[in-house]
Structure 1
Amino acid sequence: MGHTARVSAFVWISAGSLAAWVWLLLCQGFFWRTDVRLPHRRDPEDWPPVCVVVPARDEAAVLPASLPSLLAQDYPGRAEVFLVDDGSTDGTGELARELARRHGGLPLTVGSPGEPPAGWTGKLWAVRHGIALARAREPEFLLLTDADIAHAPDSLRTLVAAARTGGFDAVSLMARLRVASGWERLVVPAFVYFFAQLYPFRRIGRRGSRTAAAAGGCVLLRTETAERARIPDAIRHAVIDDVALARAVKKGGGHIWLGLADRVDSVRPYPRLADLWRMVSRSAYAQLRHSPLLLAGTVAGLALVYLVPPAALLGGLAAGSTATAVCGGSAWLVMAATYTPMLRHYGQPLWLAPLLPFTALLYLLMTVDSAVQHHRGRGAAWKGRTYARPDTVADEA
């Protein structure tokens, strides 16, 4: 009787996992498709002025591969670059000036805002300073881009054309992350896949949809929209600033668009598992609003969706439970099939698709570690700074 009850429970759990995957396949905004690219666009009759704002903290290692691509933008209108040196100790600011002298191109201004006051993350304090410098040029658009992002020569003009054609207040591209090492190949495509699963790109661009997200490495933002949404002041304590920015824009009635990039690339290497672990764990618990209840639900959800299918298939075969094995195998097959387009987008071998449960287990452990580090007072740490949870920061007038 006890054995039968256990088998029955395993069947129901595996069936629940399969049902979850059928729902994800059909009802979660077709998140697994990778054809959401810059929408149809036409060149405007007049090219508006644009200011590029680049927050940078200890970025000397990647700046030679990224900053020249911004300076070399083939933009028909007026554009200039503002790099904000956020307290770097590796000569980031001076290197930026040297690269501008060497490569020429768009005008470059290097500023430094000093240490952020209480309640601000360093990046958003730097962005605030950059926007303040740019405001004197009266730009119609601001391009907020990270110091590790390299742009194709036509990147700025295609972003502006897309924003003007589609009437978007914010256009964001998910930069193609580096996939050179074995760990990067295993973890990085899954990172983008999981992000799209949480924030389906098709829903983000739909008017009236409540789904809001952006990719912080590349966001073209209308200046008047930034002022109306009080960006970055309204999101000054956000560790996951790109999603917070998108929510602030949508809350103010703005229209946003997010899709995958073809020629906007991150040049930052994450060669070891430890590097990728820090990238994910530093903000994973912040994504869950530092809630133990949400953490427990996330762990349970990840286990049901990603870990149950292979366990059900293998366990069902071992126990002679055909129903369990069929449900588990079918769920695993759907999972691998939905992951395949992202692997193709990153030019990775398709045999990595069945390994997604193992990668999901890594992300589960990273998320738990993020919570542990937070409760030890070391959560949301980045380049020498550790940020408190938002509700511990006194609000400013």
Structure 2
Amino acid sequence: MSYWTVIAVVSLLSWLWLLLGQGMFWRTDVRLPPGAEPREWPSVAVVVPARDEAEVLPVSLPSLLAQDYPGRASVFLVDDGSTDGTGQLAARLASGGGVPLTVTSPGEPPQGWTGKLWAVRHGVRRATADAAPDYLLLTDADIAHEPDSLRALVASAHACGYDVVSQMARLRVETGWERLIVPAFVYFFAQLYPFRWISRRGRTAAAAGGCVLIRRSALEAARVPDSIRHAVIDDVALARAVKGGGGSVWLGLATRVDSVRPYPRLSQLWRMVSRSAYAQLRHNPALLLGTLLGLALIYLVPPVAAIAGAAAGAPGVCAAGFAAWAVMAGTYLPMLRYYRQPWWLAPTLPFTAGLYALMTADSAVQHYRGRGAAWKGRTYDRPSASQLAAARNAEDDGVAEG
């Protein structure tokens, strides 16, 4: 067998393993499990960290204030140092009534905290100051909920006994770049964290930060957010903290929870991915190299082998490459259907994977240039050993309320 034949066959075997052995990650039927409505509805506090979100707030916030929830519910919007009038706009949007809204501000985060988690901490403290809720819904300012969203989340968590119920909001897919990159983003996430594995006992843990319903007792037992104060990828860190403490986590795709944030240009999507990609790899150069080589073997080799093998008259290389490419495209089709996109985008996945490889490499470059995980005027470097040790002992630190 030639060198290229071996590489093409290894790529094909990798895809067969992913197809059969990676938790059926490619299936999109993991949806919110139905649950019988409780006789007495638990109380819920919704915490919304927001920094310069005036553009999307008129669409997202009214959907929270209009929730049809039978129990006691309240919304706490935490204005994290916005300069575009986010807090004032939120107050005006709440003037029409609905679920009670409190607008509050935490001040600048102290060293060792990400801005979002500092805002979440402040919102949780405010929400639990008077009457501690049974559940907290952590949701982003760009997420819109259908009127029955909170009701369905609570019913599912209560009936199934989950400590965390999280839904990956359906992201906006309207422009050409969004169609090319967004479905693949969710596809890659599910490949890393197969949804079916998350709800089982084991180490796989993840959540989607746009919609996380968590039992207050589980949040306190996991010392969240203090125990993950440094985390850039805070949703996965939260799920790991809860599951590591013996809690149960469920994650699936949403049908009635949507992101309203537009990403019309490639540069915006690039920043969305690259700001946290190297953090996902724990700022480890060896993991970065392994990831880039893995992306090349799994996603780039199949089309190259299929096309080059056909051109060079190497039927073995061509057949192995084409078979791997076909399996890849077939596993991508369910995600494209979920996002209501045409089937012919499936063969373009290698091109998109190449873009993701470049975004990941750029994330590392930005880290070593001192720009870290830059987002909305803040930059987060890799946490130091002392910061990680402090996070592990968060309950003893007694950080003063901002």
TM class, shorter-length: over 0.9
Distance in 1 of aligned mates of 2:320 and 2:16: 11
Q: 2:145 aligns with which of 147, 151, 172?
A: 151
Contact 1:203 1:211 in 2 (8 A): yes
Give the match for residue 94 of structure 2: 100
Q: Secondary structure at the match of 1:144?
A: strand
Give the match for residue 165 of structure 2: 171
Give 1:392 shift.
5.7
**CA displacement 1:279-320 (0-9 Å, x = unmatched):** 000000000000000000000000000000000001111111
Q: 2:291 aligns with which of 294, 298, 305?
A: 298
Contact 1:143 1:220 in 2 (8 A): yes
1:275 correspondence with 2:268: yes
Distance in 2 of aligned mates of 1:12 and 1:390: 41
Letter in 1 for 2:85: G
Q: Identify if the C-alpha distance between structure 1 residues 276 and 392 changes in structure 2 by more than 3 Å, giving closer, same or farther.
A: farther
Contact 1:52 1:79 in 2 (8 A): yes
Contact 2:371 2:381 in 1 (8 A): no
Q: 2:7 aligns with which of 13, 20, 23?
A: 13
Q: 1:256 aligns with which of 249, 260, 266?
A: 249
Letter in 2 for 1:333: A
Give 1:209 shift.
1.9
Give the match for residue 52 of structure 2: 58
Q: Secondary structure at the match of 2:357?
A: helix
TM-score, length basis structure 2? 0.96
Q: Secondary structure at the match of 2:165?
A: strand
Give the match for residue 118 of structure 2: 125
Distance in 2 of aligned mates of 1:373 and 1:392: 21
Distance in 2 of aligned mates of 1:45 and 1:327: 57
TM-score, length basis structure 1? 0.97
| Percent of aligned pairs with the same amino acid | 72
Q: 2:154 aligns with which of 153, 156, 160?
A: 160
Q: Secondary structure at the match of 2:178?
A: helix
Give the match for residue 220 of structure 2: 227
Letter in 2 for 1:272: R
Q: 1:216 aligns with which of 209, 221, 228?
A: 209
Distance in 1 of aligned mates of 2:183 and 2:166: 18
Q: Identify the range of structure 1 (316-325 vs 141-150) with the bigger mean alpha-carbon deviation.
A: 316-325
Give the match for residue 178 of structure 2: 184
Contact 1:174 1:218 in 2 (8 A): yes
Contact 1:316 1:323 in 2 (8 A): yes
Q: Secondary structure at the match of 2:138?
A: strand
Give the match for residue 3 of structure 1: none
Alignment: residue pair count: 389
Q: Secondary structure at the match of 2:384?
A: helix
Letter in 1 for 2:361: V
1:335 correspondence with 2:316: no
Q: Secondary structure at the match of 2:2?
A: helix
Q: Secondary structure at the match of 2:103?
A: strand
Q: 1:243 aligns with which of 236, 248, 259?
A: 236
Give the match for residue 47 of structure 1: 41
Q: Secondary structure at the match of 1:257?
A: strand
Q: Secondary structure at the match of 1:304?
A: helix
Distance in 1 of aligned mates of 2:85 and 2:102: 15
Letter in 1 for 2:40: D
Any stretches of 5+ residues in structure 1 without a counterpart? Answer: 1-6
Contact 1:176 1:265 in 2 (8 A): yes
Distance in 2 of aligned mates of 1:304 and 1:390: 31
Distance in 1 of aligned mates of 2:264 and 2:220: 39
Give 1:11 shift.
0.2
**Post-superposition, which runs of at least 4 consecutive aligned residues in structure 1 deviate over 6 A?**
none
Give the match for residue 388 of structure 1: 381
Give 1:393 shift.
5.7
Q: Identify the range of structure 1 (314-323 vs 332-341) with the bigger mean alpha-carbon deviation.
A: 314-323
Letter in 2 for 1:201: F
**CA displacement 1:154-200 (0-9 Å, x = unmatched):** 00010000000100000000000000110000000000000000000
Distance in 1 of aligned mates of 2:199 and 2:216: 19
Distance in 2 of aligned mates of 1:320 and 1:61: 55
Give 1:137 shift.
2.2
1:30 correspondence with 2:10: no
Contact 2:34 2:152 in 1 (8 A): no
Q: 1:204 aligns with which of 192, 198, 203?
A: 198
Distance in 1 of aligned mates of 2:91 and 2:291: 45
